[in-house]
Structure 1
Amino acid sequence: MNNDETSSGKPVRHLLGLSGGKDSSALAIYLRDRVPEMEYFFADTGAELPETLEYIDMLEDYLGKRIVRLNPNRSFEYYLKLNGNFLPTVKTRWCTAELKIRPFEEYVGEDTAITYVGIRADEPRRMGYLSTKSNISARYPFIEDGIGKQDVIDILESAGLGLPQYYEWRNRSGCYFCFFQQKEEWLGLAERHPDLFEKAKSYEQFHKDAGRSQTWSQGEYLEDLVARADEIREKAKERKENKKKAANKKLIDKFSQENNDEEDDGCLICTL
């Protein structure tokens, strides 16, 4: 028996989940020739940004291998109804469980599998894996090989793909209404995809009409968020300026600042 074979003689499956984010995409490129038997998959929530779907198509062309789309028949709307129309929140992330983890584990079944995770060497705080099934183990090639953020960008640039377009206004992949979005990112959605922004507002309106106060952005309705757009943008500008100033601090202070980067928030399986 070798490393790619179980005691039953059945091959070990090598799997890499793509979110449409920079890290998992770069990892797929990085491992394309290193692990030729790799299976690629993308858990489509039915609430993806158009830029994400376009990038997945581009990546599929580059890899020269099919990226399996999970959730072909059960989207966010399906599970929203199953959860009594209550929106997912930071504390109740049923969207991640139902639309990312469950489809992946069903795809693996009882096979022995190694899943390759795109956590970088410069972000040890994100170490972890979301599946608890004993037949699924995880590897972190970027950590093993010392690959950091700039390396990831270089990998994408060298492949001719570059960063997904949503990085022009957003720090993460994931659903267009992700509750981990910063307020300035919601403004970006309103500007780039007003139709999706209005749809996100409609979910809040449903709760309003039902006498509930649930919102996507913590403590604030999206319509109120837009009304104070100038204030939000000014605060975002101040944060960026403070981050630049932090580069002049001693190394330990700089390290602390970098590890509180907003892009590190959210569910790993959604945003890598």
Structure 2
Amino acid sequence: MSDAEAKHVLGLSGGKDSAALAVYMRQHHPELDIDYFFTDTGKELPEVYEFLGRLEGFLGKSILRLNPDRDFDFWLKQYNNFLPSPQTRWCTRQLKLRPFEQWLKPMLEQGQKVYSYVAIRGDEEYREGYSSKHKNLKIVLPFKDDGIDKPGVHEILESSGLGLPKYYDWRSRSGCTFCFYQQKIEWVRLKEQHPEAFEEAKTYEKNAVENDSPFTWSQGESLDELTEPERVRQIKEDYEKRLERAKAKRQQNPLRDEPDSLDIDELYGQAKGCLACHK
């Protein structure tokens, strides 16, 4: 098939970078008929769905939902009730990448070339978000190529009228409500913002422990331990101290973002989250 018959796809996580890339491609490459897709695990934050709805309004196009044929609970049983973790990220593999591969498989087998646009920014080291051995699948990094950095992403979203997803008020990443890459302050805030989702995460954790899983959602302590009143106080105090230190550093450079716009991960060290979930 010719390049004119190529398929163009852009995956959305519900996060700011992929949303900004969708806006950027719509504004700078309107000639491309891009299929925007979101792989729904069914465990996403409600703010994610609200943001995707607003993004659809801007794009003037529906975002395809690639629902996995097996949900989180199915795969949890397949993995003997062992929770996913940074060491065994089966959730990303089975609930995000697998549906994407199944969607593209017929196109690639028919010889169609597919261009997949990924939101790696110009100020990030390139991390392989999705590598394919298939000769017809090409990964494209527009932000990397055009030098769009984090402030540039914010500017794109603000100028479009979308702004940031609402969960950025209390959390640094999209993805499942019980993502194991959350910082401890984010678990505390999840309990405050979405107590039902927090209780569901606790249930999964207790079942995993009963089945000899070596992992808890948050490294080094259970959610019960993490949300003891004294522990919550410690976590919040630690967060405030880190924020104050970051503010002091940011004030030395007026060209940087305002201190209050710091991502939580910047305060604790950048976590290597899964690109399919968090970009």
**Equivalence for 2:131:** 131
Opposite residue 97 of structure 2, the aligned amino acid is I
Q: Tell me, yes or no, if the aligned pair for 1:129 and 1:138 is still in contact at 8 Å.
A: no
Measured in 2, the distance between the counterparts of 1:167 and 1:188 equals: 11
Q: 2:233 aligns with which of 225, 230, 235?
A: 230
CA displacement at 1:239 relative to structure 2: 1.6
| Match in the other structure for 1:39 | 35
| Contact 1:43-1:69 within 8 A present in 2 as well | yes
Give 1:77 shift: 1.5
Q: How does 1:41-190 map to 2 (within 5 A)?
A: 41-71=37-67, 73-109=69-105, 110=108, 111-123=112-124, 125-134=125-134, 135-190=136-191
Q: Deviations over 1:13-57 (max 9, x none)?
A: 111000000000010011014143111100001110000011111
Q: What do you get for the CA RMSD once the two structures are aligned?
A: 2.2
Write the distance in 2 (CA, Å) between the matches of 1:122 and 1:208.
40
| Greater CA drift, 160-169 or 129-138 | 129-138
- Aligned residue identity for 1:49: L
Q: TM-score, normalised by structure 2?
A: 0.86
Match for 2:243: what amino acid? K
Letter of the 2:73 partner, please give it. Answer: E
1:27 lines up with 2:21 in the alignment = yes
The residue type paired with residue 266 of structure 1 is G
Once the two structures are TM-superposed, the CA of residue 245 in structure 1 deviates from its matched residue by 3.3
Amino acid at match of 2:188: L
- For the residues of structure 2 that align with 1:72 and 1:83, how far apart are their CA atoms? 17
**What is the DSSP-based 3-state SS (H/G/I as helix, E as strand, rest coil) of the residue aligned with 2:241?**
helix
Distance, in Å, in 1 between the alignment partners of 2:233 and 2:153 is: 33
One-letter identity of the residue aligned with 2:130:
L
Rounded to whole Å, the distance in 1 between the matches of 2:103 and 2:214 is 37
SS at match of 2:206: helix
- Secondary structure of the residue aligned to 2:227 is helix
Q: Is the 8 A contact 1:20 1:173 kept in 2?
A: yes
- Residue 217 of structure 2 corresponds to 216
The residue type equivalent to 1:92 in the other structure is T
Question: Structure 1 stretches of 5 or more lacking a match?
Answer: 6-10, 251-257
Contact 2:68–2:95, Cα closer than 8 Å, also in 1: no
Alpha-carbon distance between aligned partners in 2 of 1:133 and 1:58, rounded to the nearest angstrom: 35
Q: Distance in 1 between matches of 2:100 and 2:68?
A: 13
1:164-191 per-position Cα deviation (integer Å, ceiling 9, x unaligned): 0100010011111000000000011000
The alignment's TM-score, normalised by the length of structure 1, stands at: 0.88
Displacement, 1:249?
7.5
Q: Secondary structure at the match of 1:41?
A: strand
Amino acid across the alignment from 1:163: L
Question: Which amino acid counterpart does residue 154 of structure 2 have in structure 1?
Answer: I
User: 1:143 Cα deviation (Å)?
Assistant: 1.3
Aligned to 2:258: none
Q: Quote the Cα distance in structure 1 between the aligned partners of 2:76 and 2:211.
A: 15
Q: Percent same amino acid at aligned positions?
A: 49
Segments ≥4 residues shifted beyond 4 Å? none
Larger deviation, residues 59-68 vs 18-27: 59-68
